[in-house]
Each structure stands twice: as C-alpha cells, then as structure tokens.
Structure 1
Amino acid sequence: MRVLVVDDEPFMGYLMGILLLPLGHQVDAVFSGEEALECLEREVYDLVFCDLVMPGIGGLETIRRIRLRGGPPVIALSATVSPDWQQEALRAGAAAFLGKPFTRGDLLKIVAQIGEGGDARNSGSG
C-alpha cells in the first residue's frame, strides 16, 4: 500500500515509515495541506494520514478537498481527541480518527481495515 503522511511535525512521517516500511508499505511525507494536495495531483496513494492542526490549509480543509477530488481514504491524526473533534474530522470526510499518541497496534489495525476495504471509523486511540 502506498501511504502519504501529512503532518507539520517531520517526526510523524519518520515514525510512520519505521512502522509501515517493514510491512511492505511505501511511505511518503509532506508537511502541509498545500503540499499534500499538490502531491496527490501527481501521485497515486492508497491511504492518507492527515494531521488536523497545521499552519496554512488546516487538516479538516485538506481532508475535505481530498475527498471532493475523489482521493484515497484519509485517516485524521490529532493530539486533541475530544469526541467533538473526532466527529468534525469524520464529517469532513475522514475514514477514521487516530489519536496521538497512538500504539503500533492501533496504526496497524486501521491500515489493515482500510486495505481490506473495511470501515475503520471506530478504530484507534481516543
């Protein structure tokens, strides 16, 4: 599976790579919503992980734009794990919400469910 990680913290892309590369997934990282939208115009991805709080185009708007374009499933990432924030991400078009910090098991469960075409909305931390 080809995965795009969108997070203004470079460590998140690095972490996703450490966790997903050994399982055969390709992981690319960008640091803003703008970069993500540009990247998705050039490349094809199976899954996007998108931080919700970023400068410029925020995560919610990035998710909306990806979904309006018919892009891949998006997993929202945030350290803010309130039910309202999670629901807002799902309303924006996220397939699921993964709270930071998350466990390796939470991440792998979501990736497996998306890879199988399943609904991962109730997976993950928070």
Structure 2
Amino acid sequence: MRILVVEDEIRISNLLRIYLQREMFQVDVVENGKDGLECALKEDYNLIILDVLMPEIDGYQVLKEVRKIKKTPVIMLSAKCTEEDIKYSKDLGANHFIAKPFSPGDVVTKVKDLLSLDC
C-alpha cells in the first residue's frame, strides 16, 4: 500500500516514513504543498498524510483540489488545533485530524484503521 506524506518539517516526515515503512507501507515524502498536490493528483495512493501549514500551498488548499478529483483518505496534521480547524478540515473532506505533537505509533494506528487493516 502506498502512502504520501506531505510535511515540510523534515524531522517529522522522516519519523513518519520510518514508522510506516516498518509496517510495510511504501512511503513517498514531499516537503511542500505544491509538490504534494502534484503527486496526489498524478499518482495513486491508498492514503495521504497532509500537514496544514506548509510553504507554497497550504494543506487545506491541497485537500480542496484533491477532493475535486479523488476520494483518497486524508489525515490532516497541524500544530494549530482548534475546534474550528478540525471542523474546517472535515468540511473539506479530511477523514481525520491529528494535532502536533503526536505519537508516530498513534498515526500508524489511525492509518491502519482508515485502511481497514488489523491494528
């Protein structure tokens, strides 16, 4: 199964890659919203992990554009986590919202849950 991680903080994207690859996922990582949008639309992923605050195009705009074409499950990540942020993400079509800081193990569990895999 293929997962796209769109995250501008290298430390976080590397951590997610390590944890997801341990679970046998194929993981592609991009560092900005523009590249993330391009990959999400061009390639077929089973799930996208998408940071909200990124250079070039923010995660909300990426999600809006992806939802025009695809129904790929999306987990939003953000250090800014208010009820409004969570509601806005859900209204745009996000499947789940995870606040930073987070446990990488919890992200893997949520990924498996969304993909209906055994946790």
- Superposition pairs for residues 2-41 of structure 1, below 5 Å? 2-41=2-41
| Correspondence for 2:108 | 108
| Correspondence for 1:60 | 60
Q: 1:105 to 1:22 in 2, by over 3 A?
A: closer
How many residue pairs align between the two structures?
Answer: 117
Q: Residues 76 and 89 of structure 1 are in contact (CA less than 8 Å); yes or no, is this contact kept in structure 2?
A: yes
Q: Which runs of 5+ in 1 are unaligned?
A: 118-126
Q: Please, what TM-score do these two structures have when normalized by structure 2?
A: 0.90
103-112 or 25-34, larger mean C-alpha shift: 103-112
**Which letter maps to 2:86?**
Q
Q: Which portions of structure 1, spanning 4 or more consecutive aligned residues, are displaced by more than 2 angstroms?
A: none
| Correspondence for 1:93 | 93
Q: Shift of residue 104 of structure 1?
A: 3.2
| Correspondence for 1:121 | none
| Correspondence for 1:51 | 51
Q: Residues 3 and 49 of structure 2 are in contact (CA less than 8 Å); yes or no, is this contact kept in structure 1?
A: yes
Q: Which runs of 5+ in 2 are unaligned?
A: none
* 3-state SS of paired residue (1:106): helix
Give RMSD over aligned pairs: 1.5
